[in-house]
Structure 1
Amino acid sequence: MYFIIQLPVLLFSVILHEYAHGWMAERHGDDTARIMGRLTFNPIPHIDVFGTIILPVLAVMTGAPIFGWAKPVPVNPYRLNDPHRDMIWVSLAGPGANILLALLASLAMWLLRSYPAFPPIIGISLYDLLKLILVINIILPVFNLFPVPPLDGSKVLMGILPRDLAYKYSQLEPYGFFIIIILLYMGVFWRILGPIVNYLITLLGG
């Protein structure tokens, strides 16, 4: 039953993540996302069968933290004002949007604890919803900032590296999906990222 609440929160969070990428790209000169109809909160254009449906269901079935991804928003780096620099901002925009949402959820949780304005049943339910928003929007940016192509962390790293090294690093991208699946299956991701996620959730009052 809890899954019925988890999935819409996850769906909104991954759509916000991708929308932020497209929005930032447009601010820096590339309107590809708008042309392709991806600057929208309509979930249909953003759904990735594996990342938005299958993976969250598998996570719930196995007791793993629920997470996933939406279909990546198209970005044409050659249309950016400064491709090497601007890709850093575009890549950070998605995780940044999730972190902002987590901070807002944390603030709302603090207000709910400090100034209870709802009957207990409604208050507890709202608090649990806010905590779910907080948790998902901490997991998503931490996961996405892992430096494995095509995750956002890899693109930030490519923007920092010298251009020749960035190009060589980008050659991993065709194999990135399989690397991610293997790391997930072996539990490597959560062994590395789990302590970071737990620390941030505790820090923000979750």
Structure 2
Amino acid sequence: MDFTNINIVEILTIVICLVIAIVGHEIAHGLAAYKFGDMAAKNQNRLSINPIRHIDMFGTIIIPAALYLTSGFVLGWAKPVPVNLTTVMRNGGHKGAIIVALAGIAYNFILAAFAFFVLKFLNFGFAEAKFIYTFLAINLFLGLFNLYPIPPLDGSKALEYALRSFRLSSMANLITSLEKYGFIILVVILISPFKEQFFAPITYIFKLLRSML
């Protein structure tokens, strides 16, 4: 890696967009749980928009920086907000649990849609347009990536609760049993020869997006 070619402005742009995307993602989970009577996130002040309360040194800074510097690929996460599923299930049932699981994804998609319409219908200079596109891309990617039904991604949680709502407990328990291996599974997929196939749906959506701008 030639560190003399590092673009500081580009790095700062990615950091700002990533923090907004992943911190808001976690707050959305907490707010959804709060709507179902769960005070866990609120009591620990995790509904605050102060990013310091949500930043995970490893997942928010070290991993994204290392990935960007070595491959140009950016992926990160914030500290998960505490969620008391017993309370959520009592007040909202499996539907409530699914809403909480998908709240972060919905947040990312809303921001991506907003950025798309701003970029599509308003005129900006090159620097501003590049920032907005980066903001759009990061939120869209995080939303799509989290839809994959692989622990610990949100899609796996939503699928688990959906299966339980249909009384398919054995399949739901299988997903739960994979949670402790989730990070390993993701790493194996990301370094496997099938990485391109894994990301094919996301790649297709990004190609479609670029054709629409």
Normalised by the length of structure 1, the TM-score is 0.88
Structure 1's 187 and 67: CA in aligned 2 closer, same or farther, altered over 3 A?
farther
Q: Does 1:105 align with 2:111?
A: no
Give the deviation of 1:189 after TM superposition: 4.8
- Structure 2 CA distance for partners of 1:187 and 1:71, relative to 1, 3 Å: farther
CA distance in 1 between counterparts of 2:27 and 2:101 reads: 12
| Equivalent in the alignment of 1:73 | 81
The letter for the 2-side match of 1:87 is A
Aligned to 1:145: 147
Distance verdict in 2 for CA 1:187–1:86, change over 3 Å: farther
- Contact 1:134 1:201 (C-alpha < 8 Å) held by counterparts: no
Partner Cα distance (1:67, 1:168) in 2: 26
Q: Residues 73, 190 of structure 1: CA spacing in aligned structure 2 closer, same or farther, 3 A cutoff?
A: farther
User: Whole-Å Cα distance in 2 between the matches of residues 143 and 40 of structure 1?
Assistant: 25
Gaps of at least 5 residues in structure 2 are 1-7
- Name which of 119, 124, 127 aligns with 2:126: 124
2:202 maps to 197
Residue of structure 1 in register with 2:189 after alignment: 183
Question: Which of 16, 23, 28 is the equivalent residue of 1:15?
Answer: 23
2:70 is matched with 62
1:171 shift after superposition:
1.6
SS of 1:82's partner is helix
Contact 1:138/1:200 (8 A) holds in 2: no
Q: TM-score, normalised by structure 2?
A: 0.85
Equivalent in 103, 112, 129 of residue 93 of structure 1: 103
Shift of 1:187: 6.1
Shift of 1:5: 1.2
How well do the aligned residues superpose, as a CA RMSD in angstroms?
A: 1.8
Partner Cα separation in structure 1 for residue 193 and residue 18 of structure 2: 21
User: Following TM superposition, by how much is the alpha carbon of 1:164 offset from its aligned partner in structure 2, in angstroms?
Assistant: 3.9
Equivalent position amino acid for 2:64 in 1: P
CA distance in 1, matches of 2:193, 2:92: 37
Asked whether the equivalents of residues 139 and 197 of structure 1 are also in contact (C-alpha less than 8 Å), the reply is yes
Fraction of identical pairs, as percent: 39
- Inter-partner Cα distance in structure 1 for 2:178 and 2:145: 18
The answer to whether the aligner puts 1:154 opposite 2:162 as a matched pair is no
**What SS does the aligned partner of 1:39 have?**
coil
Which amino acid in structure 1 is aligned with residue 97 of structure 2? Answer: M
Give 1:12's aligned amino acid. Answer: I
Rounded to whole Å, the distance in 2 between the matches of 1:191 and 1:104 is 29
Deviation at 1:137, TM superposition (A): 0.7
What are the ranges of 5 or more consecutive residues in structure 1 without an aligned counterpart? none
State the distance in 1 between where 2:126 and 2:106 align: 28
Q: What secondary structure sits across from 2:95 in the alignment? A: helix
